[in-house]
Amino acid sequence: MITVGFAPAWRFKEETDHGNRRLRDVERARVVHGAAVRRPGRLKTAALALALIVLVAPAAFAQTYTVEIRPTLNDLDVKIEPVATTSMLVVRLTNNMDHRVRCRLRFDASPQTPHRSSLNIDPGRTEQSVFRAQRKWFAVVVEVNCEARP
């Protein structure tokens, strides 16, 4: 078959095909079945990179802030223990007296709105108040006012 300016259709298809159908089938099988040809160190490198991200990311995105406690204990034996985590502040109050104590807490962490809570603590017991972050904190001021309860 002789043509001028164009290759015959059957010859053109053979020259350009080069097994593309076979390659498409192999590619489809690799995607569908996960039968990719793996290089020896690639999976190990990916696992190492993922482990590094998991270990470093919380430290990079962790919220750091200062906690200032302003106690007004009225001569009561109350132990105040702040426990700061990334997304919340826990204040533990321990009553070391022989009678009941009521403590009022006021949390101020600008730009978040102030939060108030009140705890009645039995003798020898430890109670805790939790203040959760709704925005990013830089400093938290906790005012603790305790008084004896009859």
Q: pLDDT digit of tens for each residue in the chain (150 aa)?
A: 555 555 555 555 545 555 566 666 666 666 555 555 555 566 677 776 766 666 655 554 555 789 999 999 999 999 999 998 888 999 999 999 999 999 999 999 988 899 999 999 999 999 999 999 888 888 999 999 999 987
Bridge partners of residue 112, in order along the sequence: none
Strands 78-84 and 88-95 come out as antiparallel
Tokens 């990179």 sit at which residue? 49
What DSSP state is assigned to residue 114? P
Report if pTM > 0.85: no
- Please give the Cα distance from 5 to 24 (Å, whole number): 31
61: helix, coil or strand? helix
Tell me the domain boundaries of the chain: 9-60, 66-148
Q: Taking the CB of residue 142, how many other CB atoms lie within 10 A of it?
A: 21
CATH 2.60.40.3230 is right for the domain spanning 66-148: yes
